[in-house]
Structure 1
Amino acid sequence: MEKRATIKDVAEAAGVGVATVSRVLSGGSASPSTRERVLAVAAQLDYRPSALGRNLRQRRTGGMGLLVPDLTDTFYGQLAEGVLACARSAGEPVVLGSTGDDPEQEADLIGMLLEQSVDRLIAVPSGDAETWSPAIRAGMTVIFADRLPAQSPADDPAASALTDLMLMDGLAAAPPSRPQSQAQPRPLDVPSVLADDRAGIRTAVRYLRGLGHRRIAFLGGPGQQRRVAAFREAVGAPVDEELVVFGTGSRDSAYAAASGLFQSRPDLSAVVAGGNVLGEAAVLAARELDLRVPKDVSLVMYDDVPWAELCSPPLTVIAQPGRDMGYRAAELVLRSGGRRPRSVVLPTELIIRGSCGPHR
């Protein structure tokens, strides 16, 4: 039996990405030449795009997808446990994928899920609104968890994050300072389950200020624009930009960012790490550089993971409910027949342990 052509086959033959094929076949935006090339290749390969749209609109296949950036990250493991627990109680299978925080890989996985007629998806997004538009146009029910996609690659992360924070507080977003290009995609109207990053970061910074710390650094990673904006807001203007540094997502990159921060700014007295991989990197880098925690540097980590209590000293953390976040996201996606579910913001908690001390 001859193997049926897939969306990836069409993308490779046309020399474009899977997301572009999805856009063309679901009636989305594409240049005339790209559209013509994709449609010609699809016809040549006898590719039938019913799984990209019509099947999803006409019937519910059962099962849901879950996309996370990194299955080895303890927080995403907790989130996945919550999704699987809810799905198990409902008798629903789950298709699990890891994007590696790579928008291209994410687009490929979205295309494959559409091909398999998976009509409901929970995702910690890595790509922007354009990456996700084809799935939503095809009729897939999407719930974002932990973070939101950027509106476009060219968006100012700080401005985008500030808008997110305002919306979480129930405030209208400020009007743009300049007219938006007609080519810019509109923000996605997709429900989400998020932690209250703003309150968590603000509480941590206030705690460190109360201990006398003034040179507080933020160690960030991919998808943490809301946390960065909350940190900037909490420390107040003027922000020392040398104290806001980023890794690219891998453990090596996180370690390099933490080590570089400690070496370039020996005057800093406290660090807020934006996630558990970054917190791990900060602990390792401090140890390698013979910096004592908390005597030389105080450390607060976003995420409460089991090893945080096993450190010497145990780490002060901003705890977010990862398992509950996954469970609530699965509940939303399972109940999404008819009325659009409302977004959920879950509380965070500052758990004080031994990694912070008074500034000397």
Structure 2
Amino acid sequence: MGRAGHAGPGPAGERDAVATTIKDVAAAAGVGIATVSRVFSGTGSVSAATRERVLAVAGDLDYRPSAVGRSLKTRRTGGLGLAVPDVSDPFCAEVVAGVLECARSLGQHVLLDATLGDPAREAEIADRFAEQRVDGVIAMPSGVADPWTGFGRTGVPLVYVGRVPSCRSWAGKVPAVLADDAAGIRSAAEYLVGLGHRRIGFLGAPAPGTPPDVREDAFRAALAALGVPVDEDLVARARPTRDSAYAAAAGLMQRRADLTAVLASGHLPGEAAVLVARELDLRVPADLSIAMVDDIAWAELADPPLTAVNRPARDLGYRACELAARGTARRGPAGPVLLPTELIVRGSCGPAPSRRDRARH
């Protein structure tokens, strides 16, 4: 009669219905069940010869350790929870790709969900990850609310990626892997001022009632350092949606005919700036220069191609996964990990037009 889990007598060598168990491996290898368990868990002392014999027998019997059994013993799933606002968003998609690449290299699996920018949905996902007892959490928080902090209190590694909660109480209490947005905004603002622009709109600042974020603070600081007054009427606020970004861009460009440049705080307001400029028959960059944060694929394909601050989304995801999977986050943050940004100069920015030039057009 065939060994359990292997082809026995029967048509076409069909496998027996009963799968190979750890007892079968132990019996065939001439060792105890505890020894087989130590080999596959990587814990405890096992001689090299015994380990090789157990693995050889397991391979011959096509034995696979039970993930369910391991999770019952450890009370963990052995996976990482990953939450992003929108998996279809180009920046989020690259972050996810980086996390998956790292997880694959570490032998981890990932539970992925999207918050859709909804605080209630985000809280539900956090609760679900807690119920599933994930080994670590990587979160791109969606706003002011922060339902993730409970993981840190229970010893589960928690890492923010790409952004942190906009509440000031965060204050570096949770490890984070971030792009150096301040440096990116500063380089873009300096570039526009160097081209002679003084009436620069900042499009996509946090919506009214929420505190300024790193990008708005950096924009204000950069202009102040360059001796350019910040015109509050040129700071256009929007929620992180296409409709809100479009409304903010339309309001800004229609309200301020003297505007010569727009620095968009992300690719959604950047897209809105391009659309509204086209609808208002503004020539880019002759009438209006446009630069944005996030060098996503369509930026290079726009006409003209857009100047953009490149944030290394895939690297952000990879590094955050390393921290969460290896438990580095348990040791407490030593400040956020900042990855460098780069200003990619393209044809959407040019010298500031004079009032006469714009009037002639």
TM-score normalised by length of structure 2: 0.71
1:130 to partner: Cα distance: 5.0
Q: Which residue of 2 aligns with 1:307?
A: 298
1:188 to partner: Cα distance: 5.8
Counterpart selection for 2:343 from 331, 335, 350? 350
Contact 1:66 1:121 in 2 (8 A): yes
| 1:295 partner letter | A
Structure 2: distance between partners of 1:231 and 1:115: 41
| 2:157 partner letter | T
| 1:212 partner letter | G
CA offsets 1:100-159 (integer angstroms, 9 cap, x no match) = 2222221111011111112311111124465333333233311011111133xxxxxxxx
CA offsets 1:156-187 (integer angstroms, 9 cap, x no match) = xxxx4xxxxxxxxxxxxxxxxxxxxxxxx674
Q: Which residue of 1 aligns with 2:216?
A: 228
| 2:130 partner letter | L
Q: Which residue of 1 aligns with 2:127?
A: 111
| 1:290 partner letter | D
CA offsets 1:182-203 (integer angstroms, 9 cap, x no match) = xxx6746111101111111111
Counterpart selection for 2:177 from 193, 198, 218? 193
Contact 2:176 2:337 in 1 (8 A): yes
Q: Which residue of 2 aligns with 1:219?
A: 203
Contact 1:216 1:269 in 2 (8 A): yes
1:270 and 2:286 matched? no
| 2:250 partner letter | S
TM-score normalised by length of structure 1: 0.71
Question: Does 239-248 or 301-310 show the bigger shift?
Answer: 239-248
Contact 1:304 1:320 in 2 (8 A): yes
Report the number of matched residues: 274
1:349 to partner: Cα distance: 0.6
Contact 2:94 2:313 in 1 (8 A): yes
1:98 and 2:91 matched? no
SS in 2 for 1:258: helix
Q: What runs of 5+ residues in structure 1 fail to find an aligned partner?
A: 1-54, 152-159, 161-184
Task: Rate the CA distance shift 1:234–1:188 in 2: closer, same or farther, 3 A.
Answer: closer
Q: Which residue of 2 aligns with 1:331?
A: 322
Structure 1: distance between partners of 2:299 and 2:146: 37
1:251 to partner: Cα distance: 1.0
Counterpart selection for 2:272 from 277, 281, 284? 281
Larger radius of gyration: 2
Contact 1:120 1:140 in 2 (8 A): yes
CA offsets 1:35-76 (integer angstroms, 9 cap, x no match) = xxxxxxxxxxxxxxxxxxxx99x6443111111112221111
SS in 1 for 2:263: strand
1:341 to partner: Cα distance: 5.9
| 2:346 partner letter | R
Contact 2:164 2:170 in 1 (8 A): no
Q: What runs of 5+ residues in structure 2 fail to find an aligned partner?
A: 1-70, 354-361
Contact 2:140 2:160 in 1 (8 A): yes
Q: Which residue of 1 aligns with 2:148?
A: 132
Report % sequence identity. 55
SS in 1 for 2:152: helix
SS in 2 for 1:131: coil
Contact 1:221 1:249 in 2 (8 A): no
| 1:287 partner letter | R
1:204 and 2:204 matched? no
